[in-house]
Amino acid sequence: MRKPETRLQLFDEVVKWARNSAPPADYWTLRSVAEESETLSVRRDVVEPARIESRCGAMISLVRGPGMGYSATSDLSAGGLRAAFARALHWAQLHAGLGLFNAALFPRSDAQSHYRTRTIEPWEARAIEDKLALLRDACTALKIDSRILDRSAWVQYRRVLQLLVTSEGGRSERVLEYVNPGLAAVAHARGQTQRRTGGGADRPGQGGLERIAEVGFLDAAPRIAEDAIALLGAPECPTETCDLVLMPGQMAMQIHESIGHPLELDRILGDERNYAGTSFVTPDMFGSYRYGSELLNITFDPTLRGELASYAADDEGTPAERTYLIRNGILERPLGSRLSQARSGLPGVANARASGWERPPIDRMANINLEPKDDSLEELIDRVEHGVLMDTNRSWSIDDSRNKFQFGCELGRLIADGELQGLVRNPGYRGISADFWRSLAGVGNREGFEMRGVGNCGKGEPNQAISVGHASPPCLFRGVSIFGGG
Amino acid sequence: MRDGFFALTAELAGSLRGNEALFCTLDGEDSDFVRLNRNRIRQAGSLHRRRLGLKLISGDRQVEGSCDLPGGPPQDPTLPRDLLARMRNRLPQVPRDPFLDYSSMPTFSERTLSGDLPDPAQAVSGLISEAGDMDLVGIWASGDTMNGLASSLGHRHWHQSRSFNLDWSCHLEKDKAIKAGFSGFDWDGAGLAQKVAGMRRGLELMARPARTIRPGRYRAYLAPEAVRELMDLLAWGGFDLESHRSAKTPLMRLVEGERQLDPRVCIREEHCRGLIPGFTAEGFEKPERVDLIVSGAYRECLVDSRSGKEYGVAVNAGSGHPESIALDAGDITRSEVLDRLGSGLYIGNLWYLNYSDRNDCRITGMTRFGTFWVENGRPVAPVEVMRFDDSIYHLLGDQMEGLTKVREMMLSTSTYGGRSTASSLLPGILVKAIELPL
């Protein structure tokens, strides 16, 4: 694997070329990205083909007069860069005459930043044979019953080096590393299939091999398989309206779909209406709209160590800091990068992000977290006379304005008179965002606060998928419409 | 690029040792993207991408890898050589692979789909001019895509196409919008003007006061674009052999014979359409078609090389995910659709589909774009967005009244990981009832 230092040397040569040879422009940025990844997986005790991937390219954004354009290339030769700058200039010239806004709004950055994921045990510290042995052991541990028809254990490593340089002297350097393991067991009997995941599958994050133990990878295997078998014989989740306790493994998707996306400022400005959609949130709501109960506190937080989208600066060089989006239930601030802030006149955060070198940055979530309060999980359950606890998202759907949602989870458990009861299968629930967050009646404490995330959030035209972090404790909601399968 | 790719493969193959074999793939594009909002340019740019895939085989061990190519022609072989060396080091560290399979006899093909494309700047300027004061949002994507396969055993395949894909919608307030697409290989400015004119007419109807309908069951017509969303979701684990054999497919009850679709439902993968590469990454040639569902009953799966070897079935696809799906036509003519619907919903598009119960192939999602309430065969008002939640065994089964005679060919607008060359050939569907719970 090419070391980051080697890639950085290549990128500095690219920067040198740009500083000497870029066409005249009012402003440009050059974002060079090198990504290395490895995937190891075992399915039904057979090691699947080991995969080594290497990505490398650069994105140029250029402003001249009222126009702006971009060009991305994997050809980092002088010829390739010259062609890319020429194409970016070409688009800037078209935009100058037909642009939605004057490119004078495009943010300039001269900021310096440096970020590197802290790892305790680097990926290279263990031999491939040891990693495969661990995966094989985990896969074997899933094989507890002949009704387990499919079982998988995997670990993926990713390292992303990005160097962002601007014509105004800005330089933002970062190295992100991720080790993401996971387990899955699929049980089938009498026309019913149940899939259960764990071992880190829904706990992606930054870090090194130490994450494997942190997420309890190997220990999780028997329980996952037992759950899958038990769900086969469990009754369907009832169809009714009742109280709902959501574990962090589902809170992540609830936050993602019905808080994160609606607060993206470029959606509010209409950019995504042809694809990802718009938002029920309007600019006049900020500062006064009651988004949820007083227990609802949502932060944009790039500072949590190990969370998926922690960084020092966004992909336009804006320094990132922890900021409240919703405080005590009142909507304060959108998820808008500096360009969207300039277009709208609203405040925002440092969230201009791109999925890689091939795509331009747009407003994205980064780490969007629900801040903990005071209740233990036991205390939340104790407050439920009649309800269901749901864990681990498996299905998600919401309308294009981010109002009418529906989610499904892998596992449900009845609650009666403040006590957990038996399993229910195929649990799901649906609702409307505004009503739902106002029904938030309990928020777990810091002990229950877990970092989760979504590894493939899709948006943008052209499309791009990016990873985002969501940390949350368990939460209690009153009066939710739930349903089961069949 | 083709010659450069083949030359690079030959150079890498020349460095092989012992009984090693090497399969190389190329996935590349030179694309232009112009993104629009409020009928003005929001973001415009270009992409030059060349991605090399390598599969190194030694006996019954294999390692896969990929890297971005840094420049050329001629291609600088340094990075590919480095990658190959890393893969060679990895080979003795991995166990024998019982499901390794590849085509050992060389195969050859070459296909170029050339097009008469306009300069994107001119095409976009023309669209903006045509749309005038409409609130147009969308994206122009155009350029060349290329896929190649070459091996040390002598395989040589190349597939290249030049196409455009204009995907846009025009908006009134809130959810009131109409969507359209215009894609292909040869530009037709007059055709685009007609589409824009059609949207103006659609927006006149959309401008009427929206009707809120209560949750319940409704007669409905799903236009081809809406059917495409259903097919796209079904494609997610619905048709691949591994999902079928490990009970993960949402069509398990169809496979086990417990459920049936309407006998008029025939779904197939049509590789003969020729819009996607006709070869797999392991050198197999795809058959002309694969009949997935015939007369409402399960027939065959899509079988890639790995699952084919695991389950002892012949390879018939590059992956388990359909890329050229087709649903057979019926007998409802375009002019009959609204009369046959009578009173109910005309659903132009669906959005954000997912499974609500995979065991029953129950799917949920939202109406979006161009959805109207129809009374006695006449569209009378747009409707507020509604959530549906219903089983494919109903929508394509006991609740299906008919399919349209004319089908629509739709090129995929997906650009995740690269501009897709997938396509769908689908009719509209008339259903007696669709469940709308919210």
pLDDT, tens digit (0-9, with 9 covering 90-100), for A339-352: 999 999 999 999 99
- From chain B, the residues in CB contact with A94 under 8 A are 34, 41, 44, 121, 124-125
Q: Could A404 and B415 be called an inter-chain contact, meaning their C-beta atoms sit closer than 8 Å?
A: no
The mean pLDDT of A14-34, rounded to a whole number, is 96
Distance of CA B225 to the CA centre of its chain: 12
- β-sheet bridge partners, residue A174: A115, A162
Place of tokens 């001119």: B122
Q: Report the sign of the C-alpha dihedral through residues A289, A292, A293, A298, in that order.
A: negative
Closest C-alpha among A279, A175, A189, A172 to residue A230: A189
Which A positions 260-279 lie with beta carbon below 8 A of chain B? 269-271, 273-275, 277
- pLDDT at position B73 over 70: no
Nearest to A270 among B38, B70, B93 (CB): B38
- Residues A388 and A231: their CA atoms lie apart, in Å, by 15
- Residues B414 and B412: their CA atoms lie apart, in Å, by 6
Query: Nearest-CA residue of chain B relative to A150?
Result: B246
Q: Which CB contacts under 8 angstroms, 24+ apart, belong to B253-257? A: B253/A191, B253/B359, B253/B360, B253/B361, B253/B393, B254/B293, B254/B297, B254/B298, B254/B361, B254/B393, B255/B298, B256/A191, B257/B297
- From chain A, the residues in CB contact with B100 under 8 A are 49
**Residue B422 identity (one-letter amino acid):** A
Residue A46 near chain B (CB below 8 Å):
yes
For residue A12, the model assigns a pLDDT of: 93
Which B positions 275-304 lie with beta carbon below 8 A of chain A? none
What are the helix (H) ranges across B257-399? Answer: 305-311, 337-341, 392-393
Residue B210 near chain A (CB below 8 Å):
no
For residue A3, the model assigns a pLDDT of: 73
Chains A, B: CB pairs < 8 Å = 266
Q: Tens of pLDDT along A419-440?
A: 999 999 999 999 999 899 999 9
For residue A247, the model assigns a pLDDT of: 98
- Residues A94 and B124: their CA atoms lie apart, in Å, by 10
Residue B129 near chain A (CB below 8 Å):
no
The mean pLDDT of B419-424, rounded to a whole number, is 96
Residue A134 near chain B (CB below 8 Å):
no
What is the average pLDDT value for chain A, to the nearest integer?
A: 96
Residue B340: pLDDT band with limits 50, 70, 90: very high
- From chain B, the residues in CB contact with A35 under 8 A are none
Q: Tens of pLDDT along A28-48?
A: 999 999 999 999 999 999 999
Q: Could A269 and B37 be called an inter-chain contact, meaning their C-beta atoms sit closer than 8 Å?
A: yes
Q: Could B34 and A50 be called an inter-chain contact, meaning their C-beta atoms sit closer than 8 Å?
A: no
Q: Could B41 and A461 be called an inter-chain contact, meaning their C-beta atoms sit closer than 8 Å?
A: no
Q: Are A366 and A320 in contact, with CB atoms under 8 Å apart?
A: yes
Q: Tens of pLDDT along B142-194?
A: 999 999 999 999 999 999 999 999 999 999 988 899 999 999 999 988 999 99
Q: Tens of pLDDT along B187-241?
A: 988 999 999 999 999 899 999 999 999 999 999 999 999 999 999 999 999 999 9
The mean pLDDT of A357-382, rounded to a whole number, is 98
Nearest to A399 among B33, B360, B366 (CB): B366
Q: Tens of pLDDT along A81-104?
A: 999 999 999 999 999 999 999 999
- Residues A319 and A331: their CA atoms lie apart, in Å, by 23
Q: Tens of pLDDT along B343-385?
A: 999 999 999 999 999 999 999 999 988 899 999 999 999 999 9
**Residue A257 identity (one-letter amino acid):** E
- Residues A113 and A312: their CA atoms lie apart, in Å, by 6
Residue A22, CA distances (Å) to A11, A79, A126, B44 in order = 15, 12, 44, 19
Q: Could A72 and B47 be called an inter-chain contact, meaning their C-beta atoms sit closer than 8 Å?
A: yes
Place of tokens 């307030």: B173
Q: How many CB atoms lie within 10 A of CB B309?
A: 18
Which A positions 363-382 lie with beta carbon below 8 A of chain B? none
Residue B70: pLDDT band with limits 50, 70, 90: confident
Residue B19 near chain A (CB below 8 Å):
no
Query: Nearest-CA residue of chain A relative to B242?
Result: A150
3-class state of residue B42 by DSSP: strand
Residue B72: pLDDT band with limits 50, 70, 90: low
Place of tokens 């589909």: B353
Residue B389 near chain A (CB below 8 Å):
yes
The mean pLDDT of B300-321, rounded to a whole number, is 97
The mean pLDDT of A226-247, rounded to a whole number, is 98
Q: Could A186 and B362 be called an inter-chain contact, meaning their C-beta atoms sit closer than 8 Å?
A: no
Phi, psi of A9 (to 5 degrees): -65, -45
Q: Could B38 and A408 be called an inter-chain contact, meaning their C-beta atoms sit closer than 8 Å?
A: no
Look up residue B427 and give its two tokens.
Answer: 């009719």
3-class state of residue A67 by DSSP: strand
The mean pLDDT of A225-229, rounded to a whole number, is 98
Q: Are A77 and A14 in contact, with CB atoms under 8 Å apart?
A: no
B337 DSSP 8-state letter: H
**Residue B245 identity (one-letter amino acid):** R
Residue B71: pLDDT band with limits 50, 70, 90: confident
For residue B175, the model assigns a pLDDT of: 82
Closest C-alpha among A250, A361, A253 to residue A313: A361
Look up residue B273 and give its two tokens.
Answer: 């359409």
The mean pLDDT of B2-9, rounded to a whole number, is 94
Which A positions 200-219 lie with beta carbon below 8 A of chain B? none
- Residues B430 and A12: their CA atoms lie apart, in Å, by 60
Look up residue B83 and give its two tokens.
Answer: 């990658």
- β-sheet bridge partners, residue A36: A54, A159
Q: Could A127 and B93 be called an inter-chain contact, meaning their C-beta atoms sit closer than 8 Å?
A: yes
Q: Could A91 and B46 be called an inter-chain contact, meaning their C-beta atoms sit closer than 8 Å?
A: yes
Q: Are B138 and B122 in contact, with CB atoms under 8 Å apart?
A: no
Q: Tens of pLDDT along A109-149?
A: 999 999 999 999 999 999 999 999 999 999 999 999 999 99
H, E, C per residue of A284-328: HHCCCCECCCCCCCEEECCCCCCCCCCCCECCCCCECCCEEEEEC
Which A positions 383-422 lie with beta carbon below 8 A of chain B? 395-401, 404, 406, 408
